[in-house]
Amino acid sequence: MDSEPSIADIVLHPVRLRIVQQLGGRQLTTAALREELPDITQATLYRHIAALIAAQIVTVVDERRVRGTIERTLALGERMAHVGQDDLDAMSDAELRNAFLSFLGTVGEGFDKFIDAGDRHLRNYLGFGTTPLYVTTEDLMEIQTKLAELLEPYRTDRDNGSVRITLTTAVIPSPPADSDT
């Protein structure tokens, strides 16, 4: 008997990862998703949306008839798109590397869209950097919990003139110093 695929198996496909990232904090019609992801063919986009819906990572929040077809409005679903520690532990080194490179590619794509838009005012919202922290696994869980609580009020459009930004985090442990060298 086959087990249900993990969230990692579903979300870490490059096209599905991009769909999930577009839906973060907002609801989009399939037409709006096509506009956000113009390099993905309609058939491919719909196939990956169907896989995300079947896995309850994406949900249909509204349907309406538009010119003889049904236009769906999508949002992140119950399972959300969080890859847990068990999912990461189950991945091979090659799978983990590919997942991380897909993630970085999506971050780069967002940066390219920002630059290509040519809106210098948006640079007021730009920032990137790294900060070393010294933590235990319990400390890291506390930081992530508190960060999620802090960010929650800003995860949906409040229609107050705010600009949608993407806050990207990557937690990468530093390997211990090799005492044999």
148's tokens? 């999620």
Q: Is residue 33 part of a domain?
A: yes
Q: Is residue 25 part of a domain?
A: yes
Separation of alpha carbons 181 and 179, rounded Å: 6
Please give the torsion angle defined by the CA atoms of residues 18, 174, 165 and 56, in that order, rounded to the nearest 10 degrees: 40
Q: For position 107, which CATH number holds?
A: 1.10.10.10
| pLDDT range class, residue 69, cuts 50, 70, 90 | confident
Task: With H, G, I as helix, E, B as strand and everything else as coil, classify residue 64.
Answer: strand
Q: Is residue 52 part of a domain?
A: yes
Q: Which domain holds residue 50?
A: 7-122
Q: For residue range 9-61, list pLDDT tens digits in order.
A: 788 788 998 899 889 878 999 999 999 999 999 999 999 999 999 998 999 99
pTM of the model: 0.72
Q: Is residue 154 part of a domain?
A: no
Q: Tally the domains of the chain.
A: 1
Give the list of residues 6+ apart from residue 102 with CB closer than 8 angstroms, or none. Answer: 12, 13, 14, 17
Residue 57 · residue 80 · CB < 8 Å: yes
pLDDT at residue 81, as a whole number: 59
Confidence check: pLDDT of 2 > 80: no
Q: Is residue 93 part of a domain?
A: yes
Q: Is residue 51 part of a domain?
A: yes
